[in-house]
A and B are shown apart, each in its own frame.
Chain A
Amino acid sequence: MKPQIPNLKHQRSTHHQGWCGVPGIWKFFGIWILAFGFCGCRSAKPPPEPPVAVARAERSRAQARGLSEQQNWVGAAAEWRNAAKEASLLNDGAREAAALHNLADTERQLQQYETAFSNALAAAQINEALGRKEDWWRNQILLLQIEDLQTNGSPAERLDRLVPRIAESNDPGTRGAFWNELGLWQQREKKLDEAAETFLRAQSEYEGGKDRAGVATVIANRAKLLEAQGENELAARMWADALRRFEALGEPIAIAHALLGQGRALMAAKKDLPQADMHLRRAARNFRHLQLLDEAAEADELVRRLNAGQ
């Protein structure tokens, strides 16, 4: 029987397609081993060190941010002032404006309203010149907050100017903060129904932006508005909602305010007075821990009145 000759032509052609006779499986593993060997042990080169002045400015900003988060307002003010100076030396307008804004916010906390106002105004001017719209809006809202707190200031004129333009802002958080400020102003002006509507808009903006802190704050403001409208039972329920939200966020000051509000509303509604007493006492104690002595005194006074049966 004649032996069958295999199709060598075909074999040779496939043979020369790969690497000099290396079987496919070894080729496969070899590539992976090489790839892992080469890349697995490979680290990117370290990034170049930033110039000294840039590193110093970044350090100041990080330090200031940390102090602000810890609510160490005196230290934070000094560091934000330093950060603004460092950014100015580098001609970095955006960072200078941000530092000035945060400095103004810190000074607001320290009740230094005059300097806070001038710094916020300076930040707004820089952002306007640079065309940084969102930052400019935040500056404006801060200015509104400061004007509302100043004894001889009023945010009315600025609010009138900004209300038609607020839709220009693309940030729901900014819009929420603006409506919240407007609502507070309307409440102060005894336009309670308008204020309720404005707070709802603020809440809806914050909910759209998934800003839990914003939603909780607006709910607390709505609760206070309900107290002003005489809806104390409803207000107590809303304060309870706000309290639950602040507890989830871990905001000690806001929690103390919510406890005070809930106690006050329950007391005014003459409902569940033992619970009202407990809330007021807890609020007074927390305010004392937070060194907010005026608020602690208010809570103490309410406890005294509650126990006196007034």
Chain B
Amino acid sequence: MALQDLTPQLRTRLSRLERVVGIFVVLATVLLLAGLAYYVYSTAERKGWFKRKLPYFTYVGSGTGLQVGDPIRLMGFPAGRVTQIEAMPPYQDQYGDVFVQFEIVEPYEGYIWEDSVARVEPANFLGGRYIEITKGTNSAPTYIFDSYEDVSLPEAQSRTAPNFVFSQEIWDDAITNYVVRVGNRVTPAVLSRLQAMGINTIQISDKSKKSPKPSGIWDEKAGKYARVEGEKKKGYWVHVDETPAVTERLQKIANQVEEALPNFLALTNTLVRALTNIDAVARHTDELLVSAKPVVTNFAKISENLSGPQGTLGDWLIPTNVNAQLTMTLASANTNVNLISSNLLATLDNVANLTSNLNAQVQANGLILSEISRLIANADDMVQGLKRNWLLRGSFGAQTNAPVESVIKPRLAPK
């Protein structure tokens, strides 16, 4: 029905309604767009779309458990993500078999220095791994954002203001101490020392001139910064400290246990032998004591005779039979003591090996056990939650145990 067909009053009412609807639609659209914009903005902030990202790379022995998009951690924070994982071409694997490139989001690049290491750690017991970059402690930052240039020493004399600092590392001739370190102020004393060392040019940066993009990347070999161009655009090479995946470690442990088992059995055999020897020694000692009894009696007689007028000390003290007996006893005791000590030494060595192996295994297993424990606890929590869900609880059967009651069963006729 066309609007013109209606009465004027109805037309007025309907056009008012249309206006209200129009305002509502516009408002809803504005709200929707505002919500979308806010969502996009918050997502961008959360994911760091507006932040500076700097490339780094490393080489690892195996790409197991690593994936593009995996977070990079730094001091426990997510500081970036993996952007590329590629196998190295054949015969070009001198640095590592797998090339891993990643980007670090500002401001975390400030913590990555020359001595930072990319530690590849097991993430879970299913073979996953993650990369954690260690914080730099004692060297140069990997990227520089200040303006810098290589200047001759005479020119450097004019750059001793507080905003000028060295952006180069120079060791003394003995290579034991730094003469110049990155970030040290330029002073005439240092410059004269450099002159004395025969150095002609030095790299100096101006802290007052900063740029949002990195002006240089650290060149480990040259000990100073280089322009980010050409090959350097690939990023900074962070050295790797790689731990194999948990599954590989478990396999190694299993192999180790398998290898250690014969040693352990040998150890038990050795222990049994040692105990047998100790038992034999104890028996010998007992025999020795029994055989020593007449000797003591003889000594008593000797002492009695010595107090008398007859007999010489030599005759009484060691008659021929006693001499032979004593020699035999001492020889036997000596042999036994040597045997015991050698057996004990072997036993102690084996025990030390065993405990060190056990210690290594316990250290390796600690993380896995806690992971497994957490997994089980979380899985239990989830299942308990599902059991209480009104939609799903029917699938789990009775929630309580059957009440305990006395049971009586019919008896078969006895014989």
Contacts and interface: CB of A to CB of B under 8 A. Distances in A.
A95 interface: yes
Contact of A98 (B390, B406, B410, B415): B406
A218 B410 contact: yes
A23 to B, nearest CB: 14
A298 B388 contact: no
A54 interface: no
B410 A176 contact: yes
B10 interface: yes
A61 B411 contact: no
Residue among B6, B7, B388, B406 having the largest count of chain A Cβ atoms under 10 Å = B406
Nearest to B386: A43
Interface residues of B, number: 26
A102 B406 contact: yes
Contact of A177 (B6, B391, B408): B408
Nearest to A254: B412
A225 B414 CA distance: 11
Interface string A138-174: 1101100100110000000000000000000000011
A139 B406 contact: yes
Contacts, number: 90
A184 interface: yes
B405 interface: yes
A40 to B, nearest CB: 6
A277 interface: no
B406 A97 contact: yes
Interface residues of A, number: 56
Interface in A51-105: 58, 61-62, 65, 68, 83, 95, 97-99, 101-102, 105
Contact of A5 (B7, B413, B415): B7
A135 B407 CA distance: 9
Contacts of B406: 97-98, 101-102, 123, 135, 138-139, 142
B392 to A, nearest CB: 9
A181 B411 contact: yes
Q: Would you call the interface of chain A mostly helix, strand, loop, or mixed?
A: helix
A43 B388 CA distance: 5
A95 to B, nearest CB: 6
B404 A202 contact: no
Interface in A213-229: 213-214, 217-218, 220-221, 224-225
B412 A298 contact: no
Interface in B394-410: 401, 404-410
B231 interface: no
A224 B411 CA distance: 13
A39 interface: yes
B391 A40 contact: yes
B179 to A, nearest CB: 67
B307 interface: no
A137 to B, nearest CB: 8
